Structure 1
Amino acid sequence: MSKTVRTFLSGASFALGATVAFSGTAQANTELLDQINSYSQDDIAQVNSVFQLSDVSPSDWAFDALRNLVENYNCIVGYPDGTFRGSRPLSRYEFAAGLNACLQQIERMIQSGGSEVTPEDLAALRRLVNEFEAELATLGARVDDLEGRVEFLEDHQFSTTTKLGGEVIFNLGAAFGEDNIDDQVTFSDRVRLNLDTSFTGKDRLRTRLEAGNITAFDDATGVDTARLGFDTDNDNDVEIGKLYYRFPLSDNIRAYVGAVGMGLDDIADSTSPYFESSGSGALSRFGRFNPIYRGPDGAGAGFNLGLGEKFTFTAAYLADDGDVNNPEEKNGLFNGNYTAAAQLDFEPSDNIMLSAVYARRYQKSGDVNLTGSTGSDVAKDPWDDGGFGEYAASSDNFGLQASWLIGEKFNLGGWVGYTNADIEDPTVTGNAEVWNWAVNAALLDVGGEGNVLGLIFGQPPKLTNADIDFGGGQGSSFDDEGETTYLAELQYRYKLNKNITITPGAYVIFNPNQNDDNDTVVVGSVRTTFSF
């Protein structure tokens, strides 16, 4: 939620940073009120701690209450020099003005779905309102009946621990090509509701409810690379899309435990800041981030370890959430499909991010997918596509990612990924290698603040060589199978307001499925994202 708050009362902004040495009585003081009303917004600046206000005394009972309000909700401001125009203590009228500012800020937070307002803070606010009732009344009718407003806030919170957030996508899209393409224009939707619960203020339990009918364009085109980055099709039935808990173990360690839908990109930074989001990032599935991050996932655990100011180490173990609750052979948490991964991030400056990721994967027979459904059919499962049958496979996956914000308006990024896979079967041996890469560019604030012009170009996962050996001299091998597939995406994210973004764009797939005999595929989309 926003931490920048400006509150207006009687045509002016008012400031307070903590409890003060109180002076005066509750009588009207015209001269002092004139002084309060003379404060201008140009004279005040946000502070985050009462200790920044040099003329505040901690000797009064209200010190801790006001300190918690200002530091929890940033609802009080002070002058840039850290004082309130001199060394004099604040009057009770100035205090009342700041108290009203905090009440209005908390009221706005709750009305917008905020969940971080605690019962303890509401109780402190009630006590302060009772103490300064006369001063608040003197300030005018705009602060009348504050006791009733506090009761309203207490009665109308969604939850004292849970914040509700949501995202709705309307998509107008179609795939085009010369032959064998179902090129009908579609209109579809996806809805996500996130319930984020905190028990300590530093942790988060995320429960995501999801429904949608956005179909994958792989069926219409016969090409996995044609998939949208936000396709979800469960006939608009509500399902649990994610369920995981994030919490600190120490000042530099954050841990994750998940039961449903937790991916490696939820734990590790995919280093694709302007394209990774499904709701506001790349239109294509391949364009969001390195396919190395896609694999068996859903349930498991992981952690981030801060190594000084520039390095972060991440490790995770994830199992297919369709397997973990099944006690049968080749299922469960450790005997089914899994991903074990480690990543090292390096941030030499605020504008540059570099990362290296390694993932060890096992996928059962019939579940092998070396590309995360972003590349060619032959790269997805080299041996099954070659007509040799279905085999389990293990793979070593390596990725390098980079993102560089050049100046304030241009971001350049990209990645390269490599997969080396082996058949896991006592009677058959086989090996395959798959490569992918991409570069992306984001031009910021084009045509208005918050707008983004984005370009992506790359090679979706490509099988470069593979072999299979049945023993007795029986087998097959091939190198650099087929032509190279390329994807180019152009999009423009127009921020209509802070809650609505419209993204028209298209991506083109050249030599689909590593075959230059296949016609070029074009996918067009107009994605409208509502967030709240």
Structure 2
Amino acid sequence: MPTVCWRKIRLMIFISSLILSSIHKADATTNPVVIDDHKLNQIPSVSQLSDVDADSWALQTLQALNEKYNCVSEDIELGNQTLNRYDFAAKLNACLIHINKIIDNSNNQIEPEILTALQKLQTEFSSELFNFKKRADLLEMKVATLETQQFSPHVQLKGKVIFAMTGLAGGNKIGTRNKLRKENLVLSNRVRLSFESSFTGKDKLQVRLQGNNTPELEDVTGTRMANLGFDGDDDNEVEIDEVGYRIRLGKQTRITFQGVGGGLGDMVPSVNPLFSGSEDGSISTFGKENPIRRQGGGVGIGISHNFNEGVNLSLGYVASNASNPKKGLFASPNGAIAQLTLEPTKTTALSFTYIYSQNNFNTGTGSELSSNPFNDQADAIAANSFGAEAAWQLNPSITLGGRVGIINAKAADLPATPNAVISTWAIMLALRNIGKEGSFAGFVVGQPPKVTHNSFGDAFEDKDTSLHLEAFYHLQITDNLAITPGVFVITNPEHNNSNDKIYIGTVRTTFTF
């Protein structure tokens, strides 16, 4: 059978439509002829079959709209080209969506002449737009089906590298006559490589390797109050720092299993997250989080449930000797945490925390007495801790935060079961987008953990009060590079006003990939 070109077919249809139109007009004045309107409507008009040429009013109108609203993707050039009607409808549909978004965001009324042009284009290409929308909806349904039914396990490698230049100054080391060496600077690093895997798309297995040679400054200052938030002097020996698995049970509930490196603070959310990251948050251990949440680490399990967008309940348990067959999962040292987190408004967040620990209440940030209030004579110390934290976003750039913590420790194996009360508090201020978008300045003023009452004896109470004063600036240079200079001062170290102030400054450079 000979091949007939498409243009001849359109010409034949055009001639047929003319003939039918003539018959219809003749019927109006002469003998009536019955015409099936339904079948006639199924015959496409020439305009519905013709391409959209560069000099057509439709393409020129779309070109004008694109110049005014930039509503067609950059990879599409309208230029001097001929489009079929469905390609033109695709571009027209994208332009309509873009213009609608502009109107919705600005609440401005569209000009009458533009509205008329859009209505004319929609009328002219109504059939193509309708078919285009049907095909787009069908494609979205197929993609959604594939996403829910198909998943390929994968492994991602992520890394975070810290280089830090640190210096300190002050008087004598606590408890000695040795002067702090203020002329020395320390260059250290911390490297973390994480292998993150997912098997269902709703879970995550993380194995993290770490090497660190950032010194713990308590060794040279004589107090844990001076420790940095990213220290861990292990001579850069690479070790498995964390092994964890998270899986969702429905949309509202998540379970976390920690095989290595679990901590109570990791099981619950933070309402002041700008301060909590060791790579991009506070430069000090004290400034990162409420010290009461640092009681315990090791193997752990946690569960987090969102009752709604503004209410979360998180529970967690960690044990230090879970792999020891002589002690097991529930032997001390251990700790359990429960936290209720509330977001009553978009600008306000609150959390209330309870922790129970056994032989595990050393917070790593307070005075020596706060980690040993019973003079090494007790082997069975149970502690009940209570904490509260708040954050209030005053405006898009300013967030004010605060926290308090109380630890009530009892020595069950000593006569009269003595108890000690340890308190801590802090106020935080964050200024967002200072100097560069994504950058922020942070300020912390607070009291490291202090023994305020001890029935074991007055000699085991802290007599004075230390203050932690900190300021840092997180400069986000690129998505993968940030520099954080910061400084903090400890007044009356170890809550003793006979000790000289300690000044610590650092410049933390963080690379992420």
TM (norm. structure 2) is: 0.72
Contact 1:182–1:221 (Cα < 8 Å) also in 2? no
Task: Kindly indicate whether residue 303 of structure 2 is the aligned counterpart of residue 344 of structure 1.
Answer: no
Q: Distance in 2 between matches of 1:396 and 1:333?
A: 20
1:227-284 Cα offsets, whole Å, 9 max, x none, are 0001122211211111111111122211111111122222201222210000000001
What is the rounded CA distance, in whole Å, between the counterparts of 2:193 and 2:246 in structure 1? 18
Contact kept in structure 2, 1:44 and 1:78, CA below 8 Å: no
Pick from 373, 377, 383: which aligns with 1:382?
A: 373
**Alpha-carbon spacing, 1:227–1:43, altered in 2? closer, same or farther (3 Å):** same
| Equivalent pair of 2:296/2:361 in contact (CA under 8 Å) | no
Q: CA deviation at 1:31?
A: 4.2
The offset of 1:78, in angstroms, is 8.2
Aligned length: 402
For residues 92 and 313 of structure 1, what CA distance do their matches in structure 2 show? 48
Quick one: distance in 2 between partners of 1:493 and 1:176?
A: 23
Q: 1:270 to 1:309 in 2, by over 3 A?
A: closer
Q: 1:91-123 deviations in whole A, cap 9, x for unaligned?
A: 99999xxxxxxxxxxxxxxxxxxxx999969xx
Contact 1:506/1:522 (<8 A) preserved: yes
Alignment CA distance shift 1:420-1:79 (3 Å): same
Q: Secondary structure at the match of 2:455?
A: strand
Residue identity opposite 1:266 in structure 2: D
Work out the CA distance in 1 between the residues paired with 2:53 and 2:263. 62
Aligned with 1:219: secondary structure? Answer: helix
Q: Is the 8 A contact 1:369 1:381 kept in 2?
A: no
Distance 2:466 2:95 in 1: 57
SS at match of 1:43: coil
Amino acid at match of 1:285: T
> For 1:487, which of 468, 471, 481 is the aligned residue?
468
Paired position in structure 1 for 2:156: 163
Q: Which amino acid aligns with 1:258?
A: Q
1:32 shift after superposition: 8.4
Find the aligned partners of 2:213 and 2:447 in 1 and give their Cα distance.
28
Alpha-carbon distance change, 389 to 350 in structure 1, aligned in 2, over 3 angstroms: same
Contact 2:378 2:414 in 1 (8 A): no
The answer to whether the 8 A contact 1:258-1:299 is kept is: yes
Q: Is 1:396 paired with 2:384?
A: yes
Alignment of 1:396-435 (within 5 A): 396-425=384-413, 429-435=417-423
Residues in 1 aligned to 2:197 and 2:55: alpha-carbon distance in whole angstroms = 42
Counterparts of 2:461 and 2:55, CA distance in 1 = 81
Partners in 1 of 2:195 and 2:72 — Cα distance?
A: 36
Q: Mean Cα displacement is larger for which, 261-270 or 426-435?
A: 426-435
By how many angstroms is 1:390 displaced?
Answer: 5.0
TM-aligned CA distance change 1:163 to 1:463, over 3 Å:
same
Choose which of 343, 355, 362 in structure 1 pairs with 2:358: 362
1:493 partner letter: H
Aligned partner of 1:307 in structure 2 is: 307
Q: Secondary structure at the match of 1:415?
A: strand
Name the counterpart of 2:325. 327
Match of 1:519 in 2: 500
1:16-62, CA deviations, whole angstroms, 9 ceiling, x for partnerless residues?
xxxxxxxxxxxxx78489969956783269xxxxxxxxxxxxxxxxx
Maintained 8 Å contact 1:324/1:336: no
State the distance in 1 between where 2:164 and 2:495 align: 28
SS of match in other structure, 2:405: strand
Quote how far apart the aligned CAs of 1:202 are.
1.7
**Using the alignment, how far apart are the partners of 1:31 and 1:234 within structure 2?**
72
Which of 494, 499, 506 is 2:480 aligned to? 499
Aligned partner letter, 1:324: A
The one-letter code sitting in structure 2 at the alignment partner of 1:327 is P
**Structure 2 match to 1:198:** 198
How far off is 1:392 after superposition? Answer: 3.1
Larger radius of gyration: 2
Cα distance in 1 for residues equivalent to 2:406 and 2:261: 24
SS in 2 for 1:335: coil
User: Structure 1 stretch 86-95 or stretch 215-224: which is displaced more?
Assistant: 86-95
How far the C-alpha of 1:161 sits from its partner, in A, is 1.5
Shift of the 31–260 alpha-carbon distance from structure 1 to 2, 3 Å rule, reads: farther
Task: State the alpha-carbon separation in 1 of the partners of residues 484 and 148 from structure 2.
Answer: 38
Structure 2 residue corresponding to 1:172, chosen from 161, 165, 181: 165
**1:328-356 deviation digits (Å, cap 9, x = unpaired):** 1xx32101211111110110112211000
Counterpart of 2:451 (choices 429, 440, 463) is 463
Give the match for residue 79 of structure 1: 97
Aligned ranges 1:20-31 → 2 under 5 Å: 31=53
Report if aligned partners of 2:369, 2:461 keep a CA contact under 8 Å in 1.
no
- Shift, 1:295, TM fit: 1.3
Distance across 2 between alignment mates of 1:213 and 1:406? 39
- Match of 1:513, SS? helix
Deviation at 1:433, TM superposition (A): 0.5
The structure that is helix-richer by fraction is 2
Q: What is the DSSP-based 3-state SS (H/G/I as helix, E as strand, rest coil) of the residue aligned with 1:446?
A: coil
Q: Report the counterpart of residue 47 of structure 2 in structure 1.
A: none
Specify the code of the residue in structure 1 equivalent to 2:322: V
Please give the alpha-carbon distance, in whole angstroms, between the structure 1 residues aligned to 2:482 and 2:453: 42
**Deviation, structure 1 residue 419:** 0.2
Q: What letter corresponds to residue 162 of structure 1 in structure 2?
A: V
| Displacement after TM superposition at 1:192 (Å) | 0.8
2-structure distance, mates of 1:504, 1:408:
23
User: Following TM superposition, by how much is the alpha carbon of 1:89 offset from its aligned partner in structure 2, in angstroms?
Assistant: 3.6
Mapped pair 1:240 → 2:240: yes
Do 1:118 and 1:161's aligned partners in 2 also have CA atoms closer than 8 Å?
Answer: no
Residue 282 (1) aligns with residue 270 (2): no
Partners of 1:188 and 1:119 lie apart in 2 by: 47
Contact 1:244 1:260 in 2 (8 A): yes
* Distance of 2:95 and 2:246 partners within structure 1: 32
